[in-house]
């Protein structure tokens, strides 16, 4: 048998280290795709206890709420609020226009 040189010994260690890192990375990657042990069915268990279903955070697409018995806003109230919003929008537009004129004059 022939003896190994120092450079061959370093290459062998480097290859072994690279293989170990590769196997560790693959193991962690595949482990992230696996299911939790608590979700796995138990072997030989007589009673299968199912987890309680969590309530839905959002209603289903076709699950509509019940109709209201009365209108949300009376037409007069709705008209009044719309007029107030229009007036506020116009005041804001006028305030922005007047603030822009002195800045442009400088």
Side-chain half-sphere CA neighbours of 27 within 13 A? 6
Indicate the pTM of the whole model.
0.34
Give the residue extent of every domain in the chain: 1-33, 73-106
Mean pLDDT of 28-55: 65
Mean pLDDT of 13-30: 87
Contact 73, 81 (CB under 8 A): yes
Residue 86's pLDDT band (boundaries 50, 70, 90)? very high
Mean pLDDT of 71-98: 92
**Exposure string (b/e) for 62-73, b if CB count within 10 Å is 16 or more?**
eeeeeeeeeeee
């Amino acid at each position: 048998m022939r003896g190994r040189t120092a450079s061959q010994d370093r290459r062998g260690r480097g290859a072994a280290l690279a293989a170990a890192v590769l196997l560790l990375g693959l193991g962690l990657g595949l482990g992230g795709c696996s299911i939790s042990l608590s979700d796995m069915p138990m072997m030989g268990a007589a009673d299968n206890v199912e987890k309680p279903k969590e309530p839905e955070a959002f209603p289903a697409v076709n699950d509509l709420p019940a109709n209201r018995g009365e209108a949300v806003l009376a037409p007069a109230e709705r008209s009044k609020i719309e007029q107030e919003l229009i007036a506020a929008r116009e005041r804001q537009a006028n305030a922005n226009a007047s603030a822009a004129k002195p800045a442009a004059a400088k």
